[in-house]
Structure 1
Amino acid sequence: MGRWQRPYSLDAATGFAMLGLVGVVGFATFLAIVYVRDRPVPAPVAILFGAWLVVCAAVALRQAMLGVYVSAGGIRSRTLLHTTTVPWESVTAIQSGIATIAGLDMGRSAIIIERTDGAPVQTALQRGDLLRPFTFRPELGRLATWPEHYDEILATLRAHHRDAQPRHAGQIGGPARPGTGGAGTTSPSAGVGRTGVTRGGPTADQRRDLHALTRQHQRGALTDAEFAAALAKIQGTREG
């Protein structure tokens, strides 16, 4: 169950464009060297040319691996230079936000993973333009897919996040029940347990879930009906 996979169909346009660009540039460079030298390529030049092709191949391979992966344990974002893995229990929302590079607004939307520690993870998945070939924005290190495909990916990732929440809630709620079996009131000074609250109040985990749920609802990740159902579930767990 720890197998990582992309839960969406790939946009092959970006990958084939990148591989085609590397091939064309490499072949053009080779022809230019042969034309200028008009004799077999010297060993130093051949070595340099080979090293350049290796770098291009490595970049193209990493470009092909860009995207968002999911498993039973969490969600993983692969960009050109970084791979970030976030457990499901640390994910508060998966939403569409502003795509930036080096702090500059790219004028696009990107899928962003919101974490409980407040440090969002910007993925390589971006909403592309209908006239993408005529835009002058760098595509290396990002996957600018069509708007319909982008919306489909966002909905799929949100569905995986919602499916993972009941599993996580069950793992958290299991050990907390023994405290309700007539063990008496907890002493306010005995702040050693991880619940550490007065009788009848929410536990620390429930407060965290309520906070995450409210943030998702405010950002539009949950509809009013989904928010009410999830809130009722948390309140029912507390009363039980």
Structure 2
Amino acid sequence: MPLPFLTADRAFDATTEDVALPFDDHDHWRRPYRPGPWRVAAAALLLLLASFVLLAAVITAAAGAVPGAALCLGLAALGIAVALRMLRMGTWVSRHGVRRVSLLTTTTVPWNQVTAVRTVQQPVRWLGLPRTVQGQALLLVRRRGEPLPLLTDHNADFLSRAVAFDRSADTVEAWSDEYRPA
């Protein structure tokens, strides 16, 4: 079963490094990078745990404890939903704007509300935890409101992948240059 949200489009493979916006259809929301190994590993472990909970639900239902089986089924469904949401987390771009997807919220900013997209050196959260380290962040500066961090080089997608962070930041900046009003 193909999972299109798991991988970036093939347009971001090594054969198209000189093309900033390699898509024919810029109306679809696209993530300009592949999910990092930390994010994929966490989602895989959560799905593995959900499979064991589903097995427990089947065993509990076979034993005749329907409320316990329903509880196990609900916990497994919650685990699967969280794992899929973890895989969707990140920055998505289209002709309409930029979208920052987190575990519980999604923030969409139209390009006409963006004043700048730039990479800055600042303290960033390490793997989304409260601990901060010095690193790079791609910030989206809005007309109103605080800057929105789109990418950091220490999150689950780019930890120990500096080249991928630079390439993704450049791609998001290229989308901004293309669609942000001058």
TM-score under structure 1 length normalisation: 0.52
| 1:127 maps to which of 137, 146, 153 | 153
Unaligned runs of 5+ in 2: 1-24
8 A Cα contact 1:7 1:156, kept in partner: no
The TM-score, its normalising length taken from structure 2, stands at: 0.66
Structure having the higher helix fraction is: 1
Q: Could you tell me which amino acid in structure 2 is paired with residue 17 of structure 1?
A: A
Bigger mean CA deviation after superposition, 69-78 or 146-155: 69-78
Between Structure 1 and Structure 2, how many residues are aligned?
A: 152
The equivalent of 2:157 in structure 1 is: 143
- Name which of 139, 155, 163 aligns with 1:112: 139
Q: Which structure has more RCO (C-alpha within 8 Å, separation ≥ 6)?
A: 2
Q: Which residue of 2 aligns with 1:237?
A: none
- Equivalence map 1:1-240=2 (5 Å): 3-11=27-35, 13-28=37-52, 40=63, 42-96=65-119, 97-100=122-125, 104-107=130-133, 108-123=135-150, 125-128=151-154, 143-145=157-159, 146-165=161-180, 168-169=181-182
Shift of 1:51: 0.5
- CA separation of 1:70/1:24 partners in 2, compared to 1, >3 Å: closer, same or farther? closer
Query: By how many angstroms is 1:153 displaced?
Result: 0.5
* Residue identity in the other structure for 2:68: V
Report % sequence identity: 26
Question: Relative to structure 1, is the Cα distance of residues 43 and 85 closer, same or farther in structure 2, using a 3 angstrom cutoff?
Answer: same
2:57–2:69 Cα contact (<8 Å) kept: no
Matched residues in 1 for 2:58 and 2:95: separation? Answer: 53
1:45 and 1:69 map into 2 onto residues whose CA distance is 39
Which structure 1 residue ranges, 5 or more long, are not aligned? 129-138, 170-240
Q: Which has the higher strand share?
A: 2
Tell me the amino acid that sits aligned with residue 116 of structure 1: R
What displacement does 1:120 show? 1.4
1:114 partner letter: V
- SS state at 2:95 partner: coil
Larger radius of gyration: 1
Tell me which stretches of 4 or more aligned residues in structure 1 moved more than 6 Å.
Answer: 30-35
